[in-house]
Structure 1
């Protein structure tokens, strides 16, 4: 026996092996229970966030719609898993697939996608400025800066919001836990906090938040 079979022999036991089969059944049942519990948890969290912040989402979407209508651009940013979400947000607006969205989409850029700029600034200056510097170079009054941080404490995200506010951009933040430093900042116009201590649940709920924002913006500009 080798490889994965050596690590998890009970998963490969025959039905004639009563002990192995019993362990396997218990493991599978635990996995099923855990999956059901997690699905219920994220469903409830998403409903809570959308219910508690429904009015704020409408106000934020209206601000984004006004920006796009006036020729504004969207810049998104975040670290780790949030960097992937930042790219998903930019793609959603630049190449929308929703029926209510305009075929041409809107100008949207994920600051996390330019590896050359990220690594140059990280190596030559500081990782704290990897989002603020590109905003300083390309952002202008009326554009939109949207940043994500599960903890709300990411120094480079907070620094980027400060720069965006200096430029006169519309600022939108998505955070988790209690909002962290992002909740304490006065540089974020629209902040959506997912009240959870689980990074996985926070990111799943944040996905719902920005997808709802997209739908509301597209409807406003349809």
Structure 2
């Protein structure tokens, strides 16, 4: 595949994601996240591999700043602390490491944003279950269909693809827009 074809495929997928249905679900996510952060309730973000890097990216934008000067927002990237992650994983299981952090940092009225391109990452599923048990909203950022995460979500933002790199490109567009809009609503 040539670079031109790859970029055209990416652009086509982003155009496909630009639907009224997706816009409505993204608006719901922005409202949920903004409402929680306005009350200083936590936004917990998690994923594996590239999705874990996306979680760190999102929290960096919201704790720091995206485009505007404003107060820091209560946002934590689960799994970003290697000491906690490896200690729990070694002593218990990697599958429950994110759920343990939800148990520590989650609060009723907060939001968990679980990122998994397949929708089937066991540790993200466990984190979502724990978040629901704590009275948190669950937003899933997944590939097409949402996988096993779908029934655990209050809001599902599923990219219209299953090929991981293309899914992650749509995710980057969606979460940058979410960060921009959350910041816009809370900056005042």
User: What is the TM-score with the length of structure 1 in the denominator?
Assistant: 0.80
Q: Please give the secondary structure, in 1, of the residue aligned with 2:120.
A: coil
Q: Contact 1:86–1:112 (CA<8 Å) still a contact in 2?
A: no
Measured in 1, the distance between the counterparts of 2:16 and 2:138 equals: 23
- CA-CA distance at 1:143 after TM superposition: 1.4
Measured in 1, the distance between the counterparts of 2:95 and 2:34 equals: 30
Q: Please give the secondary structure, in 1, of the residue aligned with 2:57.
A: helix
1:64 aligns with 2:33: yes
1:126 aligns with 2:93: yes
- CA-CA distance at 1:93 after TM superposition: 0.7
Aligned to 1:95: 64
Aligned residues: 186
- CA-CA distance at 1:47 after TM superposition: 2.2
Aligned to 2:4: 36
Aligned to 1:200: 165
Higher relative contact order (CA 8 A, sep 6+): 2
- CA-CA distance at 1:42 after TM superposition: 1.3
- CA-CA distance at 1:177 after TM superposition: 3.4
Structure 1 or 2, whichever has the larger Rg, is 1
Aligned to 1:53: 22
- CA-CA distance at 1:74 after TM superposition: 1.3
Measured in 2, the distance between the counterparts of 1:123 and 1:50 equals: 42
Where does the alignment leave 5 or more consecutive residues of structure 1 unmatched? 1-32
- CA-CA distance at 1:178 after TM superposition: 2.5
Measured in 2, the distance between the counterparts of 1:131 and 1:73 equals: 15
Q: Please give the secondary structure, in 1, of the residue aligned with 2:2.
A: helix
Aligned to 2:182: 217
Measured in 1, the distance between the counterparts of 2:37 and 2:133 equals: 20
Q: Contact 1:62–1:220 (CA<8 Å) still a contact in 2?
A: no
1:153 aligns with 2:120: yes
**RMSD after superposition:** 1.4
Per-residue displacement from partner, 1:72-101 (whole Å, max 9, x unpaired)? 1211110111110110111111111313xx
1:144 aligns with 2:76: no
Aligned to 2:53: 84
- CA-CA distance at 1:220 after TM superposition: 2.2
Q: Please give the secondary structure, in 1, of the residue aligned with 2:26.
A: helix
Measured in 2, the distance between the counterparts of 1:135 and 1:153 equals: 18
Q: Please give the secondary structure, in 2, of the residue aligned with 1:153.
A: coil
Where does the alignment leave 5 or more consecutive residues of structure 2 unmatched? none
- CA-CA distance at 1:196 after TM superposition: 1.2
